[in-house]
Structure 1
């Protein structure tokens, strides 16, 4: 009599375990579906963010080119530097007064270090 009771007990526990495994499998399937949905939403969100960043980057690149007044100011600055180089050359070579000193003013610098050479000349820039 013990054997049939044990068999029934084992069969009952087996059925319970099968039901529990079925419930667990269904929970895992639900979890997997939710993860797939979240992953797809994250991919879509990331793609949208990348597109927005690309638009911003393109806008910033384009913004640099649209400021023609800035480029014109830069060009005028380098032209004025080129025009003032001859006046500064004499002073930097130690052959003349400071270019800003007028005829009635005292020299701003009494000594000049002749070991210092001329600064490098700027390269001509074309207007963009």
Structure 2
């Protein structure tokens, strides 16, 4: 009988150890699940913040693109303005020798250019039209 009693005491101690291990494992599992839930919440918040940040960056990039496009359009305008002025002055320099004698009063209008009518010839008076 004493062997049964010793065996029962041994089993009771073993049972106590198992129960303490079980409670320890349950506590670790609760801690792990709590940490996992906290980590998931943190990751969700980080993902939301990243999404908002990316949306803001996309908006900033779009605004910068529009600003650059308008500036590029303005620069194209300036470039064409400069180009037209350059071509105008180049044509003036090219035509100047042909017109130089005329402008000095020494020759007729260069060949290929029509004489312009005077302003008086272009004006019509209503009184003259009614008399005709």
- Other-structure match for 1:79: 84
- Shift of the alpha carbon at 1:9? 1.0
Q: In the alignment, which of 12, 15, 21 is matched to residue 17 of structure 1? A: 21
Aligned pairs, number: 86
Q: 4+ runs of 1 displaced by more than 4 Å?
A: 80-86
- Other-structure match for 1:70: 75
Distance change >3 Å, CA 70–CA 25, structure 1 → 2: same
Q: Which runs of 5+ in 1 are unaligned?
A: 87-128
Q: Which runs of 5+ in 2 are unaligned?
A: 92-132
**Residues 37-76 of structure 1 mapped to structure 2, 5 A cutoff:** 37-67=41-71, 68-76=73-81
User: Could you say what the CA RMSD is over the residues aligned between the two structures, in angstroms?
Assistant: 2.3
Q: Which of the pair is proportionally richer in helix?
A: 2
TM-score using structure 1 length: 0.58
Which of the pair has the greater relative contact order for Cα pairs under 8 Å at 6+ separation?
1
TM-score using structure 2 length: 0.56
Question: Between Structure 1 and Structure 2, whose CA radius of gyration is higher?
Answer: 2
